[in-house]
């Protein structure tokens, strides 16, 4: 599903964010990216949906070399990749249900599809009763559920999560992880960058550890360190 071949990414201030990375992630896998701040986890994630382009090497997503992808095709790549962030990125002027509907609306889905899928996904994340609330009326955990709903409503092949539990307390984090686990069980590949030792050690999934841009460990059913 995802292949990185000798991928190197250097930022303009000559920080090496990723150095000669070689990774193969199969369809349906659940992968944790761990490492200190600045070790290149976010860059790894941003490269996968072409928010960044690599300086060297090739990245294949769903069989396509996304380095060769022309700009106008990038949106179509992103429709197959859901994204969840530490800061949720919800629109404060829209209700929960409008926030989720927005993701379908802007890729041109017909109203009938939106009306059918939004309640279904809100039900899945357990927020059907908050559909008409605004984001600032929700707790952090609930907001992250909305953000997961938005990322998953289009049934993407891949879900990228950049520290999705970074702003949440441990109990709430567990709820989010259960949700991501359920999504993973539907066959969606999940790549998640995290600092959360407890989560990684509990879930025992594949762990890729980065240190100053280099992959120093790639372990199936791994632990945080």
Partner 1 sequence: MPIKVDYVVRETTSNLGRNITITLASIITVAVSLALVGASLMLRTGVENATARWQGGIEFVVFLRADASQTQIDAVQNELNSSPEVDSYQFVNKEEAYAEFKRLFADSPELVDSLDAGDLPPSFRVEPVNKEVDAVDSLGSQFTKSPGVERVVFASKTIRLIQQLSSRLTVGIFVVAAFLLGAAGLLILNTIRMAMFARRREIEVMKLVGATNWFIRVPFMVEGLVQGLVGAFLAIVALAAFKPFFQKWLPNPEDIPLVSGFTVGGGEMTFIFVTLGVVGILIGAIGAGVAVSRFLDV
Contact residues for partner 1, defined by CB under 8 A: 49, 71-72, 75-79, 83, 89, 91-92, 102-103, 105-108, 150, 154
If the CB atoms of residues 113 and 216 are measured against partner 1, the closer one turns out to be 113
The smaller minimum CB distance to partner 1, of residues 36 and 107, is found at: 107
Q: Shortest distance, CB of residue 190 to partner 1, whole angstroms?
A: 16
Q: Looking at beta carbons only, is 82 or 213 nearer to partner 1?
A: 82
The CB-of-172 to partner 1 minimum distance in angstroms stands at 23
Least CB distance from residue 224 to partner 1, whole Å?
28
Give the residue with the Cβ less far from partner 1, 8 or 51: 51
Indicate the residue among 50 and 205 with the shorter CB distance to partner 1: 50
Q: Give the chain as a 3 state SS string.
A: CEEEEEEEEECCCCCEEEEEEEEEECCCCEEEEECCCCCCHHHHHHHHCCCCCCCEEEEEECCEEHHHCCHHHHHHHHCCEEEEECCCCCCCCCCHHHHHHHHHHCCCCCHHHHHHHHHHHHHHCCCHHHCCCCHHHCCHHHHHHHHHHHHHCCCCCEEEEECCCCCCCHHHHHHHHHHHHHHHHCCCEEEEECCCHHHHHHHCCEEEEEECCEEEEEECCCCCC
What is the closest distance, in whole angstroms, from the C-beta atom of residue 147 to partner 1 in the complex? 10
The C-alpha atoms of residue 162 and residue 42 are separated, in whole angstroms, by 7
Comparing CB distances to partner 1, the nearer of 106 and 171 is 106
Please report how close the Cβ of residue 214 comes to partner 1 at its closest, in angstroms: 28
Minimum gap (Å) between residue 51 Cβ and partner 1? 8
Measured CA to CA, the distance from residue 9 to residue 14 in angstroms comes to 10
């Amino acid at each position: 599903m995802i292949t990185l071949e000798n991928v190197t990414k250097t930022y303009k201030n000559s920080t090496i964010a990723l150095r000669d990375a070689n990774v193969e992630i199969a369809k349906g896998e659940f992968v944790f990216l761990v490492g200190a701040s600045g070790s290149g986890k976010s860059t790894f994630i941003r490269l996968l949906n072409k928010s960044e382009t690599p300086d060297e090497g090739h990245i294949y997503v769903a069989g396509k070399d996304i380095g060769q992808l022309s700009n106008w095709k990038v949106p179509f790549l992103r429709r197959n990749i859901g994204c969840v962030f530490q800061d949720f990125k919800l629109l404060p002027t829209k209700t929960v249900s409008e926030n989720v509907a927005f993701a379908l609306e802007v890729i041109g889905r017909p109203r009938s599809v939106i009306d059918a899928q939004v309640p279904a996904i809100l039900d899945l994340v357990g927020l059907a009763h908050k559909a008409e609330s605004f984001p600032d009326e929700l707790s952090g955990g609930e907001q992250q559920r909305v953000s997961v709903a938005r990322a998953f409503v289009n049934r993407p092949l891949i879900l990228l999560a950049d520290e999705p539990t970074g702003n949440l307390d441990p109990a709430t984090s567990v709820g989010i992880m259960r949700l991501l686990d359920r999504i993973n069980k539907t066959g969606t590949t999940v790549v998640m960058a995290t600092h959360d030792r407890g989560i990684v050690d509990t879930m025992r999934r594949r762990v890729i550890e980065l240190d100053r841009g280099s992959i120093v460990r790639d372990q199936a059913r791994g632990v945080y360190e």
